[in-house]
Amino acid sequence: MSDIYKSIFGIYDSVNGGINYGAWADFVEKNFDRFMESRPSLVLDLACGTGKMTLELAKRGYDMIGVDISEDMLSVAYDNMCSSEKRNKILYLCQDMRAFELYGTVGAVTCCLDGINYLLDIKELEKCFLCVHNYLDPGGLFLFDVNTPYKFENVYADNAYVLETEDDKGLMSFCGWQNEYDKETRICNFYLTVFTEKNDGLYTRKDEVQSERCYDKKELWDLLSECGFECLGFFGDFDFGEPGNDCQRWYIAAKALK
């Protein structure tokens, strides 16, 4: 896992430019208000990537810890923090989401943008859930999302995409994205080729393979229960809506029982 995003960390935020982190953070706080007696003060953002959500929550007054296995992604997260008014207000740790260590417990854990899907078998997922449970306060909230079976089977499938981005200097990047979904293993491999324009007009090429695992609702629900959580709900949108058959992302809330 530490090798993923080696090729695309520099364009990750541009590729995900359509994500409304403000609306997502609003939803996180709605979960706090709905499922907790009071909002937490200390929050862990697991698999935080470039720290967009970490920073958004920090701006709202939460003490934040960001954990990610990719040094490259964390370097972008650190730069994002240093260029904001929250300079040095976030603790970033380069650790594995299956076996991370904190200095104490936290009130809530978030894990956004299908970080859970990068755990490729149920044993890895169990390690992650147990670790999250260990570092949550009693009654602490675990909020995460996953790509749904519908998305794996119909949107990812064996489809190919080309993504085009432009940075603030006007330099272009192109990402060729070929998917390969195995219905038996429920693992989707993403074969990525990134061309990045340099100041002299030439392009560099980098290749990378990423993989995600499809989990169904029963697997997630049962494992959360086995790892000491009360599953509070699977939602299809930021309004706590019931997921439809063509829903592409589930938002899941669980409470740590201790």
Strands (E), 159-258: 160-166, 172-182, 187-197, 203-213, 229-235, 249-256
Number of separate domains in the chain: 2
* Rounded mean pLDDT, 129-133: 98
Site of tokens 């706090």 = 32
Residues 72 and 186 in one domain: no
92-111: burial string, b at 16+ Cβ within 10 Å, e else: beebbbbebebeeebbbbbb
Q: Is 4 contained in some domain?
A: no
* Rounded mean pLDDT, 40-53: 95
72: helix, coil or strand?
A: helix
Greatest CA separation for the chain: 59
- Which range among 99-108, 154-163, 164-173, 222-231 shows the weakest confidence by mean pLDDT? 164-173
Q: Tell me: pLDDT of 5 over 60.
A: no
Q: Is 60 contained in some domain?
A: yes
**pLDDT confidence of 14, banded at 50, 70, 90?**
low
**Which pLDDT score, from 0 to 100, does residue 167 have?**
74
Size of the chain in residues? 258
Measured CA to CA, the distance from residue 233 to residue 128 in angstroms comes to 19
Residues 229 and 159 in one domain: no
**pLDDT confidence of 9, banded at 50, 70, 90?**
very low
CATH of the domain at 175: 2.20.25.110
Residues 206 and 223 in one domain: no
What confidence tens digit (pLDDT) does each residue in 79-118 have? 888 887 766 689 999 999 999 999 999 999 999 999 999 9
Residues 21 and 71 in one domain: yes
Residue with the bigger pLDDT between 29 and 164: it is: 29
Residues 192 and 115 in one domain: no
**pLDDT confidence of 2, banded at 50, 70, 90?**
very low
Q: Is 181 contained in some domain?
A: yes
* Rounded mean pLDDT, 3-10: 47
Measured CA to CA, the distance from residue 189 to residue 187 in angstroms comes to 7
Residues 121 and 176 in one domain: no
Q: Is 234 contained in some domain?
A: yes
Q: Give me the percent of the chain exceeding a pLDDT of 90.
A: 71
Residues 70 and 182 in one domain: no
**Domain hosting residue 66, numbered range:** 12-147+215-256
Residues 28 and 109 in one domain: yes
**Which pLDDT score, from 0 to 100, does residue 227 have?**
98
Q: Is 163 contained in some domain?
A: yes
95 CA to centre of own chain:
14
66: helix, coil or strand?
A: strand
What confidence tens digit (pLDDT) does each residue in 193-227 have? 888 888 898 988 888 888 999 999 999 999 999 99
CATH of the domain at 221: 3.40.50.150
Residues 123 and 103 in one domain: yes
Q: Is 20 contained in some domain?
A: yes
Residues 159 and 87 in one domain: no
Strands (E), 16-158: 42-46, 63-68, 90-94, 106-111, 136-147
Following DSSP, what letter does each residue of 9-49 receive, concatenated? TTTHHHHTTT--HHHHHHHHHHHHHHHSSS--SEEEEET-T
**Which pLDDT score, from 0 to 100, does residue 152 have?**
97
**pLDDT confidence of 6, banded at 50, 70, 90?**
very low
Q: Is 6 contained in some domain?
A: no
Q: Tell me: pLDDT of 176 over 70.
A: yes
Q: Is 242 contained in some domain?
A: yes
Q: Tell me: pLDDT of 34 over 70.
A: yes
Residues 37 and 57 in one domain: yes
Residues 47 and 159 in one domain: no
